[in-house]
């Protein structure tokens, strides 16, 4: 028999529970307004729930931050692909956001393609302030640990550590094995392998159309191709539109990446597959550098303090891998084989700028595309090494490389065959131009029939 006292206790419990649920719902409906504002700015207000800040989980959204850096929303998960900002100022200027916007975005993870400053700057600071997990090579994680102990500004005591998950084994060869990021499973499956950083010390291709060098603001012809265009040259009107502002670093915050150790050019290639119901296993890849798989060469990774010997033999001092095999193939050919085996890739976001641009132009990115075979291609790395305002010059170079003569093919005993791509097989190209396309949401709907496998 239930007494009156028990009935009152039960009713009180129900009231407390109801009040708790009400308060919880109220809290969820009023999250940090700064997060909602930042996500709306970066992903577009139409893609962000204005009550709770959640990003539309039915879409994949890329938002270009500068250079090779993108904010990504996939199945509602928010992360950064690289964290560098080309012109990070204390007030929005040519780059229409400030570092606080990246903090307010509240990314869950920061994926670093490699450890050079024009990719990994700001990462440790953002991770310290937001709790985001960094994913990088062991060597780049070494630098993140160094960054975490620095005093970014007088009187500021940073969190002494960041969480940096080391991907792949220290010193392992490019393409030797794969790693997996489990943080977003099962909705977002992420696989990672080492590939090759771009290089200007490898093998020059006499048949490739180079991007001409710029000397004192003048496009300088090359010896082999005469008055060749395009050129790595800024539109002269750009500085008039966007005069230099006050840089954030080092006036206010010193959030550059440490230059110590071997981590700089060790490059990672990321493969994302969405596994939600009805999403057609939508697959996209991101790589923030594009190496020479034709000749199995990458930027040399040499220790200047030790007479210039390689940090990671068997790479030689020119950055190449002569006589080295992985899975019975040369390093470049093995990487090409991995790309061939990715299955249908819907979107590739890849670096169109190689350090060897005046040797091989944009041949190397075409070699990657010829093996990845994406439906859509989006360029990156077009505000560092590539000067600000030169994006359309690089677009001309990209199409020059795509339009290599019919039947053109080169091969090297050190790498993979590179051949022209028939125009019928070209990907749809969604070129991005700085600064017009900063924070322009690039939106894909994985459930669209276009992505059926």
In a domain, 448, yes or no: no
pLDDT at 26 > cutoff 50: no
Nearest-5° angle of CA 319, CA 231, CA 227?
Answer: 105
Confidence class of residue 15 from pLDDT cuts 50, 70 and 90?
Answer: very low
CB 193 within 8 A of CB 169: no
What is the pairing mode between strands 267-274 and 164-166? unpaired
- Domain presence at residue 20: no
Domain extent, residue 302, equals 32-443
- Which pLDDT belongs to residue 236? 83
Residue 25 domain flag = no
| 90: in domain | yes
In CATH, what number is assigned to the domain containing residue 66? 3.60.15.10
Determine, yes or no, domain membership for 19.
Answer: no
Q: Among 58-67, 118-127, 222-231, 256-265, where is mean pLDDT lowest?
A: 222-231
Domain count, the chain: 1
In which band, very low, low, confident or very high, does the pLDDT at 10 lie, cut at 50, 70 and 90? very low
CA distance 82 to 71: 9
Put residue 425 in one of left, alpha, beta given phi > 0 → left and psi -120 to 50 → alpha: alpha
pLDDT in tens, 359-385: 889 999 999 999 999 999 999 999 999
Residue among 112, 271, 300, 276 at smallest CA distance from 201:
300
CB 310 within 8 A of CB 286: no
Say yes or no to pLDDT of 357 above 50: yes
Q: State the CB neighbour count (10 A cutoff) for residue 6.
A: 10
The pTM (predicted TM-score) of the whole model is: 0.91
Among 55, 7, 5, smallest CA distance to 31 is for 55
The set of residues, in sequence order, having a beta carbon less than 8 Å from that of 79 and lying 6+ positions away, is 71, 72, 107, 108, 109, 110, 111, 132
The Cα–Cα gap between 34 and 31 comes to 9
What are the helix (H) ranges across 33-137?
33-43, 99-104, 117-120, 123-130
**CB under 8 Å to 373, separation ≥6 — which residues?**
344, 345, 425, 427
Nearest residue to 69 (alpha-carbon basis) of 123, 106, 105: 123
Residue 126 lies in a domain: yes
Residue 6 lies in a domain: no
**Which residue, among 110, 106, 102, has the nearest Cα to 54 in the 3D structure?**
106
Residue 221, pLDDT > 80, answer no
pLDDT > 70: what percent of the chain? 87
- Residues 260-289 have a mean pLDDT of 95
DSSP 41: H
Quick check: is 239 in a domain?
Answer: yes
The pLDDT, as a whole number, for residue 277 is: 86
**φ, ψ of residue 239 in degrees (nearest 5):** -65, -25
Report the candidate in 147, 173, 170 with the shortest Cα–Cα distance to residue 160.
147
Say how far apart CA 149 and CA 275 lie, in whole Å.
38
SS3 394: helix
Tokens 């028939």 correspond to 422
Q: Pairing relation of β-strands 347-351 and 283-287?
A: parallel
Contact assessment for residue 48 and residue 36, using Cβ atoms and an 8 Å cutoff: yes
Task: Assess contact for 402 and 354: CB atoms under 8 A.
Answer: no
Q: Please check whether residue 338 is in contact with residue 421, taking contact to mean a CB–CB distance below 8 angstroms.
A: no
């Amino acid at each position: 028999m239930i007494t009156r006292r028990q009935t009152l206790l039960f009713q009180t419990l129900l009231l407390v529970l109801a009040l708790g649920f009400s308060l919880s719902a109220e809290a969820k409906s009023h999250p940090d307004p700064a997060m909602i504002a930042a996500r709306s700015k970066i992903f577009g207000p139409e893609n962000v729930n204005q009550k709770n800040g959640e990003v539309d989980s039915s879409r994949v959204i890329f938002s270009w931050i500068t250079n090779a850096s993108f904010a990504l929303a996939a199945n509602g998960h928010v992360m950064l692909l690289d964290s560098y900002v080309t012109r990070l100022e204390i007030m929005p200027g040519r780059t229409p956001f400030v570092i606080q916007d990246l903090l307010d975005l509240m990314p869950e993870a920061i994926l670093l393609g490699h450890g050079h400053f024009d990719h990994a700057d700001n990462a440790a600071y953002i991770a310290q302030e937001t709790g985001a997990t960094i994913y990088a090579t062991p060597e780049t994680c070494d630098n993140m640990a160094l960054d975490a102990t620095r005093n970014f500004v007088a009187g500021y005591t940073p969190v002494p550590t960041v969480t940096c998950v080391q991907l792949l084994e220290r010193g392992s060869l490019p393409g030797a094995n794969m790693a997996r990021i489990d943080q977003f499973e099962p909705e977002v499956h992420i696989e990672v392998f080492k590939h090759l950083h771009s290089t200007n010390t490898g093998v020059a291709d006499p048949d490739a159309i180079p991007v001409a060098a710029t000397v004192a603001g003048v496009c300088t012809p090359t010896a082999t191709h005469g008055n060749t265009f395009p050129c790595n040259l800024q539109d002269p009107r750009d500085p008039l539109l966007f005069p230099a502002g006050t840089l954030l670093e080092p006036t206010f915050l010193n959030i550059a990446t440490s230059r110590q150790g071997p981590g700089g050019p060790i490059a990672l290639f990321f493969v994302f597959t969405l596994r939600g119901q009805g999403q057609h296993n939508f697959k996209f890849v991101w790589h923030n550098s594009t190496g020479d798989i034709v000749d199995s060469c990458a930027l040399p990774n040499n220790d200047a303090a030790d007479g210039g010997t390689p940090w990671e033999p068997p790479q030689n001092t020119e950055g190449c891998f002569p006589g080295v095999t992985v899975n019975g193939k040369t390093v470049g050919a093995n990487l090409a084989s991995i790309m061939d085996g990715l299955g249908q890739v819907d979107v590739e976001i890849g670096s169109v700028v190689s350090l060897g641009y005046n040797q091989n132009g944009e041949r190397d990115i075409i070699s990657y595309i010829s093996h990845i075979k994406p439906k859509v291609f989006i360029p990156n790395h077009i505000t560092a090494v590539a000067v600000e305002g030169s994006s359309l010059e690089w677009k001309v170079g990209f199409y020059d490389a795509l339009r290599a003569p019919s039947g053109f093919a080169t091969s090297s005993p050190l790498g993979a065959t590179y051949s022209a791509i028939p125009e019928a097989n070209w990907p749809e190209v969604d070129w991005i131009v700085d600064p017009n396309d900063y924070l322009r949401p690039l939106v894909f709907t994985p459930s669209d029939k276009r992505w059926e496998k």
